Amino acid sequence: MKKNDWILAVVIVVIAAVILLFQFTRGNSGSGEVSVSVDGGVFGTYSLSEDQTVDINGTNRLVIENGTARMEWADCPDQICVEHRAVSRVGESIICLPNQVVVSVVSGEEAELDGVVR
């Protein structure tokens, strides 16, 4: 490899490292709200900035901590909602179909669009 090839490779690695560092250091504000619906009706709205555990009609348990919301427990057989990652950005949701529970982030940090949506 020639000198210019090495310079180009170093520049690309540095740019990639800066982008990666930016992605890891930009924090989640945790100032949003999450809305919980059961059977199509609003069960409650909770702040993502306050750590708490919400019991949803004895069928689901939602845990809000560190600016994110996750389903900790559900009595449904498939457990898809429990295995879902924590949500924190507007538009993200966790859905438990057997219990008809929908947890949606309704305000806070905007979710990023992917290449398909653009």
Nearest to 47 by CA among 27, 31, 63: 31
Considering its fold, how many domains does the chain have in total? Answer: 1
Number of alpha carbons in the 13 Å side-chain half-sphere of residue 105: 23
- Domain assignment present for residue 98? The answer is yes
Q: Are strands 89-90 and 109-110 parallel, antiparallel or unpaired?
A: parallel
Integer Cα distance of 100 and 89 in angstroms: 21
- Domain assignment present for residue 92? The answer is yes
- Domain assignment present for residue 5? The answer is no
Written as tens digits, the pLDDT of the chain (118 aa) is 789 999 999 999 999 999 988 877 765 555 789 999 999 999 999 999 999 999 999 999 999 999 999 999 999 999 999 999 999 888 899 999 999 999 999 976 555 555 555 4
- Domain assignment present for residue 37? The answer is yes
Range of the domain at 103: 33-110
- What CATH number should be reported for the domain holding residue 74? 2.60.320.10
Q: Three-state DSSP class for 10?
A: helix
